[in-house]
Structure 1
Amino acid sequence: MVIYVVESLTIIMQSGLIVAVLGREWVQVKRLSPVDVILTSLGICRFCLQWASMLYNFCSYFNPNYVFWYYSITWDFLNPLPFWLTSLLAVVYCVKVSSFTHPTFLWLRWRILRLVPWLLLASLLISGVTLISSAIRNHMKIQIISMEHFLRNNTMVERLKMLLKKFALSQPVVVLIIPFLLFLASTILLMTSLSQHLEQMQHHNTDHSNSSVNAHSTALRSLAIFLIFFTSYFLTILISILSILYDKRSWFWVWEAVIYAIVSVQSTSLMLSSPTLKKVLKVRCWGLEAA
């Protein structure tokens, strides 16, 4: 439990730093790149989601028989957003950085900067749709609890429980898998493009090509690490929602600590993907070293 709290506070500080630095940049220059806009949105989402996670986890753990539907609805609304925002970030990087010459990529490369605000709005609306299913699910839970006290025949209650279970399992499949597959496809395409470009540059032996080869190799390693951690995050969240591989009560805090350790590393990778954030971090580190 202590490890989970420390990890949660770390993620909150990371998210707050992302929002503060990029918000200050926006105030100073009156504009942000599409990548920084997505990172700012992701930082705000992660900041709110982590507080909601702490409230919901502690309340549901210490009062397992009480339905905290306010926190549950907030969690259901915020939880899909990081997946959609991360997949959008992967799409933007893939379109802008990849060297594919297919007409679809050329059209997207020309339009992607204008589409980012609309795609952010679409991500928010898709997450908002989950509020409807969350409200229905929580209403069904309350009805089942009330029916258990008044009905002697539990056949109807058991049928409602089975219906609720199927409904609860279908939501993450739709809400989480679609953005994850979009992220997976974009990242694999970007890594394929960088690998092809790297093979072409390795045929040249100039000093300039050597520096480009090193830059491409570093980018490929960073993408591979981020792909591994985001896939791990997706799988742990999916297993946690389905609750099929572990006893949720006895392993609850261990599982939560594993999930948010992955999130903390992922947040660090996202911070390093922004030139603005990297510049601020370097200045702060140099200032500490000088002091």
Structure 2
Amino acid sequence: MPDKVETTLMLIAAGEFSMGILGNAFIGLVNCMGWIKNRKITSIDLILTSLAISRICLLCIILLDCFILVLYPDVYTAGKQMRIIDFFWTLTNHLSVWFATCLSIFYFLKIANFYHPLFLWMKWRIDSMIPRILLGCLAVSAFISLVVTENLNDDFRYCVKTKRKANVTVRCRVNKAQYASIKICLNLLTLLPFSASLISFLLLILSLWRHNRQMKVSATRCRDFNIEAHVGAMKAVISFLLLFIAYYLAFLVATSSYFMPETELAVIIGELIALIYPSSHSFILILGSKKLRQTSLTVLWKVKYILNRRNF
């Protein structure tokens, strides 16, 4: 790649990384300080903290991969370094998606109004189940990561690095076919949490529609906090769904780029688009949480006050 293109892409990546770290670190810090102060943590704060930590790790891995591809492209030839990056990227990617899905389902169970026995049982048990669910997400993500990295052998990495220097041999074609099948399975697995979030969103819409109909029947005109809760939860879930679609497409570009010319450029562009999801969604979550929103306004007011004092 030309030097100007490399510099521009790296600056964009650094900017997205900085914004993502700022937003996710703020969420984690606020919730951890509240945990230390109160000696307990609510289920929603535990999910948000876990999500923030997973996204900070994901942002670090993506940025590291960008810099390695641009500055030290031959590092991946050895295989071991690429295997490590593959493992942690797959792990943090799945953790981020599964934790966001847990958040969507938690919103649904806490806010929606249904009278089915299974729904009521889940609504009653969800708070005690959250720690185990999060640990289960970690175990599943680690297992998937191990399977993926074990199947990406060093022969495939050699074929990737030498594809423009030599003709593609039969062995390379076999390795690429195996890689393609693994990545297809991996991408299909990420559709499971996406489907769960989509179902939660649709059920929230149904719950809101039923609630509005009941309000019209009872002719209630006072302010309804239940409707506000529904709308707030739906905004959080729909923002995750839309950003995840963009992230998913970018992830496909990055993981499929080994079959295209200009591999490094395709990977970096895909990763730049992928960075938008963990970076911007954190600020949407801050605006959607009353505690986080008020804390952020307090912090901004204090920063403004300090800057004004220094000017004088």
What TM bracket, shorter-length normalisation? 0.7 to 0.9
The one of 6, 23, 46 aligned to 1:14: 23
Structure 2, unmatched stretches of 5+, are 1-8, 77-81
2:254 equivalent in structure 1: 240
CA distance in 1, matches of 2:222, 2:176: 67
CA distance in 2, matches of 1:248, 1:156: 20
The one of 135, 143, 151 aligned to 2:149: 135
Residues 1:115 and 2:136 are matched in the alignment: no
- CA 1:282/1:107 → structure 2, altered by over 3 Å: closer, same or farther? same
CA distance in 2, matches of 1:153, 1:235: 27
The one of 273, 278, 281 aligned to 2:288: 273
- CA 1:218/1:271 → structure 2, altered by over 3 Å: closer, same or farther? closer
Aligned residue pairs total 286
CA distance in 1, matches of 2:255, 2:47: 26
- CA 1:127/1:162 → structure 2, altered by over 3 Å: closer, same or farther? same
Letter in 2 for 1:81: L
Residues 1:227 and 2:236 are matched in the alignment: no
Residues 1:257 and 2:257 are matched in the alignment: no
2:155·2:172 contact (CA, 8 Å) conserved in 1?
Answer: no
- TM-fit CA distance, 1:217: 4.7
Residues 1:38 and 2:47 are matched in the alignment: yes
Comparing 224-233 and 86-95, the one that deviates more:
224-233
- TM-fit CA distance, 1:223: 4.3
Letter in 1 for 2:40: R
Letter in 2 for 1:273: G
- SS of structure 2 residue aligned to 1:100: coil
- CA 1:31/1:247 → structure 2, altered by over 3 Å: closer, same or farther? same
- CA 1:282/1:36 → structure 2, altered by over 3 Å: closer, same or farther? same
CA distance in 2, matches of 1:219, 1:74: 30
Letter in 2 for 1:207: C
CA distance in 1, matches of 2:18, 2:295: 21
The one of 91, 108, 121 aligned to 2:105: 91
Residues 1:25 and 2:34 are matched in the alignment: yes
The one of 72, 78, 89 aligned to 2:92: 78
Deviations 1:57-91 (A, max 9, x none): 22134444542222222112211111100111111
- TM-fit CA distance, 1:139: 2.5
1:201·1:213 contact (CA, 8 Å) conserved in 2?
Answer: no
TM-score by length of structure 2 reads 0.79
- SS of structure 2 residue aligned to 1:208: coil
1:144·1:160 contact (CA, 8 Å) conserved in 2?
Answer: no
TM-score by length of structure 1 reads 0.84
- SS of structure 2 residue aligned to 1:99: coil
- TM-fit CA distance, 1:186: 1.4
- TM-fit CA distance, 1:19: 1.1
2:255·2:267 contact (CA, 8 Å) conserved in 1?
Answer: no
CA distance in 1, matches of 2:229, 2:172: 60
Comparing 25-34 and 217-226, the one that deviates more:
217-226
State, as a whole percentage, how many aligned pairs show the same letter. 25
When the two chains are superposed, the root-mean-square deviation of aligned CA atoms in Å is 3.1
The one of 61, 66, 70 aligned to 1:57: 66
2:251·2:271 contact (CA, 8 Å) conserved in 1?
Answer: no
1:11·1:267 contact (CA, 8 Å) conserved in 2?
Answer: yes
CA distance in 2, matches of 1:254, 1:21: 33
CA distance in 2, matches of 1:276, 1:5: 29
- TM-fit CA distance, 1:220: 4.2
1:144·1:161 contact (CA, 8 Å) conserved in 2?
Answer: no
Letter in 2 for 1:35: I
- CA 1:140/1:81 → structure 2, altered by over 3 Å: closer, same or farther? same
2:215 equivalent in structure 1: 201
Letter in 2 for 1:180: F
2:25·2:52 contact (CA, 8 Å) conserved in 1?
Answer: yes
